[in-house]
Chain A
Amino acid sequence: DAKTTQPNSMESNEEEPVHLPCNHSTISGTDYIHWYRQLPSQGPEYVIHGLTSNVNNRMASLAIAEDRKSSTLILHRATLRDAAVYYCILTFGNEKLTFGTGTRLTIIP
Protein backbone atom coordinates (compact mmCIF):
# COMPACT_ATOMS: atom_id res chain seq x y z
CA ASP A 1 0.00 0.00 0.00
CA ALA A 2 1.21 3.50 -0.77
CA LYS A 3 2.10 5.28 2.45
CA THR A 4 2.14 8.90 3.50
CA THR A 5 4.65 10.80 5.59
CA GLN A 6 3.65 13.78 7.70
CA PRO A 7 5.40 15.79 10.41
CA ASN A 8 4.36 14.66 13.87
CA SER A 9 3.44 18.15 15.00
CA MET A 10 3.21 21.75 13.88
CA GLU A 11 2.37 25.05 15.49
CA SER A 12 0.80 28.09 13.97
CA ASN A 13 -0.38 31.46 15.17
CA GLU A 14 -4.06 32.22 15.22
CA GLU A 15 -5.37 34.02 12.14
CA GLU A 16 -2.30 33.04 10.14
CA PRO A 17 -2.30 30.61 7.19
CA VAL A 18 -1.18 27.07 7.88
CA HIS A 19 0.49 24.75 5.39
CA LEU A 20 0.43 21.09 6.34
CA PRO A 21 2.71 18.95 4.16
CA CYS A 22 2.33 15.33 3.14
CA ASN A 23 4.71 13.16 1.16
CA HIS A 24 3.41 10.19 -0.79
CA SER A 25 6.20 9.26 -3.17
CA THR A 26 4.75 5.81 -4.02
CA ILE A 27 1.33 7.11 -5.04
CA SER A 28 -0.27 5.44 -8.04
CA GLY A 29 -2.43 6.95 -10.71
CA THR A 30 -5.74 5.86 -9.19
CA ASP A 31 -5.01 6.97 -5.62
CA TYR A 32 -7.09 9.79 -4.27
CA ILE A 33 -5.48 12.05 -1.66
CA HIS A 34 -7.79 12.59 1.29
CA TRP A 35 -7.40 14.81 4.32
CA TYR A 36 -9.32 14.22 7.51
CA ARG A 37 -8.95 15.84 10.88
CA GLN A 38 -9.82 14.75 14.37
CA LEU A 39 -10.66 17.31 17.00
CA PRO A 40 -10.19 16.34 20.64
CA SER A 41 -12.69 13.74 21.83
CA GLN A 42 -14.46 13.56 18.46
CA GLY A 43 -14.56 11.27 15.47
CA PRO A 44 -12.55 12.08 12.37
CA GLU A 45 -13.99 14.72 10.08
CA TYR A 46 -13.53 15.00 6.33
CA VAL A 47 -11.62 18.07 5.20
CA ILE A 48 -10.91 17.76 1.49
CA HIS A 49 -9.75 15.37 -1.20
CA GLY A 50 -8.30 15.48 -4.70
CA LEU A 51 -6.82 13.40 -7.46
CA THR A 52 -4.64 15.55 -9.69
CA SER A 53 -5.79 19.15 -9.63
CA ASN A 54 -5.74 21.59 -6.75
CA VAL A 55 -9.01 21.74 -4.85
CA ASN A 56 -10.73 24.38 -2.76
CA ASN A 57 -13.68 24.13 -0.40
CA ARG A 58 -15.06 26.15 2.46
CA MET A 59 -12.71 24.54 4.94
CA ALA A 60 -9.38 24.44 3.15
CA SER A 61 -7.37 24.17 -0.05
CA LEU A 62 -5.42 21.20 -1.29
CA ALA A 63 -2.35 21.82 -3.40
CA ILE A 64 -1.10 18.73 -5.24
CA ALA A 65 2.38 18.62 -6.72
CA GLU A 66 2.59 18.11 -10.45
CA ASP A 67 4.18 14.67 -9.99
CA ARG A 68 1.60 13.88 -7.26
CA LYS A 69 4.32 12.73 -4.89
CA SER A 70 3.43 15.36 -2.33
CA SER A 71 0.54 17.57 -1.34
CA THR A 72 -0.15 20.43 1.04
CA LEU A 73 -3.27 21.17 3.00
CA ILE A 74 -3.76 24.90 3.40
CA LEU A 75 -5.87 26.45 6.11
CA HIS A 76 -6.16 30.03 5.02
CA ARG A 77 -6.74 31.61 8.40
CA ALA A 78 -6.30 29.32 11.37
CA THR A 79 -8.56 29.62 14.38
CA LEU A 80 -8.35 27.93 17.75
CA ARG A 81 -11.04 25.52 16.56
CA ASP A 82 -8.64 24.21 13.91
CA ALA A 83 -6.43 22.63 16.57
CA ALA A 84 -6.62 18.94 15.73
CA VAL A 85 -4.75 15.95 14.35
CA TYR A 86 -4.70 16.14 10.55
CA TYR A 87 -4.42 12.93 8.55
CA CYS A 88 -3.27 12.66 4.95
CA ILE A 89 -4.58 9.40 3.47
CA LEU A 90 -4.35 7.68 0.11
CA THR A 91 -7.07 5.39 -1.19
CA PHE A 92 -6.03 2.63 -3.54
CA GLY A 93 -8.90 2.47 -5.96
CA ASN A 94 -11.26 1.53 -3.19
CA GLU A 95 -12.94 3.16 -0.24
CA LYS A 96 -10.65 2.06 2.54
CA LEU A 97 -9.04 4.74 4.66
CA THR A 98 -5.75 3.74 6.29
CA PHE A 99 -4.96 6.29 8.96
CA GLY A 100 -1.35 7.01 9.89
CA THR A 101 -0.23 9.02 12.89
CA GLY A 102 -1.06 12.38 11.33
CA THR A 103 0.13 15.87 12.23
CA ARG A 104 -0.94 17.38 15.53
CA LEU A 105 -1.63 21.05 14.83
CA THR A 106 -1.44 23.48 17.72
CA ILE A 107 -2.82 26.98 17.28
CA ILE A 108 -1.19 29.68 19.36
CA PRO A 109 -3.53 32.50 20.40
Chain B
Amino acid sequence: DAGVIQSPRHEVTEMGQEVTLRCKPISGHNSLFWYRQTMMRGLELLIYFNNNVPIDDSGMPEDRFSAKMPNASFSTLKIQPSEPRDSAVYFCASSLSGAGNEQFFGPGTRLTVL
Protein backbone atom coordinates (compact mmCIF):
# COMPACT_ATOMS: atom_id res chain seq x y z
CA ASP B 1 0.00 0.00 0.00
CA ALA B 2 1.25 3.50 -0.81
CA GLY B 3 0.18 4.92 2.52
CA VAL B 4 -1.64 8.20 2.98
CA ILE B 5 -0.95 10.48 0.03
CA GLN B 6 -1.00 14.26 0.34
CA SER B 7 -0.58 16.91 -2.30
CA PRO B 8 1.01 19.25 -2.82
CA ARG B 9 4.01 18.62 -0.57
CA HIS B 10 4.88 22.30 -0.55
CA GLU B 11 2.72 25.31 -1.29
CA VAL B 12 3.73 28.94 -1.31
CA THR B 13 0.99 31.47 -1.86
CA GLU B 14 0.20 35.08 -1.24
CA MET B 15 -2.14 36.40 1.38
CA GLY B 16 -5.72 36.45 0.17
CA GLN B 17 -5.37 33.55 -2.22
CA GLU B 18 -7.34 30.34 -1.99
CA VAL B 19 -5.42 27.21 -1.00
CA THR B 20 -6.61 23.64 -1.44
CA LEU B 21 -4.82 20.73 0.20
CA ARG B 22 -5.59 17.19 -0.89
CA CYS B 23 -5.49 13.83 0.81
CA LYS B 24 -5.97 10.25 -0.33
CA PRO B 25 -6.41 7.90 2.64
CA ILE B 26 -5.30 4.29 2.78
CA SER B 27 -7.73 2.08 0.93
CA GLY B 28 -10.23 0.47 3.28
CA HIS B 29 -9.81 3.03 6.04
CA ASN B 30 -13.03 4.75 7.02
CA SER B 31 -11.79 7.53 9.30
CA LEU B 32 -9.85 10.54 8.07
CA PHE B 33 -8.23 13.30 10.09
CA TRP B 34 -6.75 16.70 9.26
CA TYR B 35 -4.10 18.13 11.60
CA ARG B 36 -2.06 21.31 11.61
CA GLN B 37 1.39 21.69 13.15
CA THR B 38 3.13 24.94 14.07
CA MET B 39 5.98 25.71 16.40
CA MET B 40 3.71 27.80 18.60
CA ARG B 41 0.71 25.50 18.88
CA GLY B 42 2.14 22.06 18.18
CA LEU B 43 -0.04 19.42 16.52
CA GLU B 44 -3.74 20.26 16.48
CA LEU B 45 -6.65 18.22 15.20
CA LEU B 46 -8.73 20.35 12.85
CA ILE B 47 -11.49 17.98 11.78
CA TYR B 48 -12.19 14.33 11.36
CA PHE B 49 -14.53 12.29 9.20
CA ASN B 50 -16.00 8.85 9.67
CA ASN B 51 -17.51 7.13 6.64
CA ASN B 52 -17.18 10.43 4.75
CA VAL B 53 -19.25 12.33 7.31
CA PRO B 54 -17.68 15.12 9.41
CA ILE B 55 -17.82 14.02 13.04
CA ASP B 56 -15.93 16.74 14.86
CA ASP B 57 -14.88 20.06 13.37
CA SER B 58 -14.34 21.86 16.66
CA GLY B 59 -10.68 22.37 15.82
CA MET B 60 -11.32 24.27 12.61
CA PRO B 61 -9.98 27.73 13.42
CA GLU B 62 -12.53 29.88 11.62
CA ASP B 63 -14.86 30.13 8.67
CA ARG B 64 -11.99 30.58 6.27
CA PHE B 65 -11.28 26.89 6.69
CA SER B 66 -13.48 24.20 5.18
CA ALA B 67 -13.03 20.47 4.62
CA LYS B 68 -14.85 17.99 2.45
CA MET B 69 -14.79 14.29 1.87
CA PRO B 70 -16.84 13.58 -1.27
CA ASN B 71 -15.94 9.89 -1.28
CA ALA B 72 -13.96 7.31 0.67
CA SER B 73 -10.76 7.90 -1.26
CA PHE B 74 -10.43 11.68 -1.30
CA SER B 75 -10.59 14.67 1.02
CA THR B 76 -9.76 18.34 0.69
CA LEU B 77 -8.94 21.10 3.14
CA LYS B 78 -9.53 24.57 1.77
CA ILE B 79 -8.44 27.91 3.13
CA GLN B 80 -10.07 30.97 1.62
CA PRO B 81 -8.76 33.60 1.91
CA SER B 82 -5.40 32.54 3.24
CA GLU B 83 -3.46 34.60 5.79
CA PRO B 84 0.20 34.50 6.88
CA ARG B 85 -0.80 32.95 10.23
CA ASP B 86 -2.08 29.92 8.34
CA SER B 87 1.50 29.00 7.51
CA ALA B 88 2.05 25.53 8.95
CA VAL B 89 2.49 21.89 8.08
CA TYR B 90 -0.85 20.22 7.45
CA PHE B 91 -1.09 16.47 8.00
CA CYS B 92 -3.75 14.08 6.90
CA ALA B 93 -4.17 10.74 8.65
CA SER B 94 -6.46 7.76 8.17
CA SER B 95 -7.48 4.74 10.21
CA LEU B 96 -10.03 2.02 10.64
CA SER B 97 -12.51 3.64 12.97
CA GLY B 98 -12.23 2.80 16.66
CA ALA B 99 -10.61 4.35 19.70
CA GLY B 100 -7.91 1.73 19.87
CA ASN B 101 -6.85 1.81 16.24
CA GLU B 102 -3.70 3.40 14.97
CA GLN B 103 -3.71 6.38 12.70
CA PHE B 104 -1.47 6.44 9.67
CA PHE B 105 -0.13 9.88 8.82
CA GLY B 106 0.77 11.29 5.46
CA PRO B 107 4.00 13.19 4.79
CA GLY B 108 2.31 16.55 5.24
CA THR B 109 1.91 19.70 3.17
CA ARG B 110 4.11 22.61 4.14
CA LEU B 111 2.11 25.78 3.52
CA THR B 112 3.70 29.20 3.43
CA VAL B 113 1.47 32.24 3.07
CA LEU B 114 3.38 35.41 2.25
A98 with B108: CB separation less than 8 A: no
Expressed in whole angstroms, the minimum distance between the Cβ of B1 and any Cβ of chain A is: 15
A99 with B99: CB separation less than 8 A: no
B100 with A32: CB separation less than 8 A: yes
A96 with B45: CB separation less than 8 A: yes
**Candidates A30, A44, A91, A94; contact of B43 at CB < 8 Å:** A44
Q: Is residue A29 contacting chain B, with contact meaning CB distance below 8 A?
A: no
Of A18-26, A45-53, A64-72, A74-82, the one with at least 4 CB within 8 A of chain B: A45-53
A46, B56: Cα distance in complex, Å: 22
Binary interface profile of B, 82-114, with partner A (CB < 8 Å = 1, else 0)? 000000000101010111111111111000000
B31 with A46: CB separation less than 8 A: no
**Candidates A51, A93, A96; contact of B56 at CB < 8 Å:** A96
A44, B103: Cα distance in complex, Å: 9
B42 with A95: CB separation less than 8 A: no
Tell me the chain A residues, 11-59 only, with Cβ under 8 Å from chain B.
30, 32, 34, 36, 38, 42-46, 49, 51
Q: Is residue A101 contacting chain B, with contact meaning CB distance below 8 A?
A: yes
Q: Is residue B48 contacting chain A, with contact meaning CB distance below 8 A?
A: yes
Question: Chain A residues with Cβ under 8 A from B103's Cβ?
Answer: 36, 44, 46, 95, 97
Question: Chain B residues with Cβ under 8 A from A92's Cβ?
Answer: 99
A44-B103, A91-B100 provided; 14 other pairs, C-beta below 8 A? A30-B99, A42-B108, A43-B108, A45-B105, A46-B102, A49-B102, A92-B99, A95-B95, A95-B103, A97-B33, A97-B45, A99-B42, A99-B43, A100-B42
Q: 14 A–B contact pairs at CB < 8 A?
A: A32-B99, A32-B100, A43-B106, A43-B107, A45-B105, A46-B103, A49-B100, A91-B99, A92-B99, A95-B31, A95-B33, A97-B45, A99-B35, A99-B45
The 7 A-B residue pairs with the shortest CB-CB distance, nearest first, are A43-B105, A46-B102, A99-B43, A91-B99, A32-B100, A43-B91, A44-B105
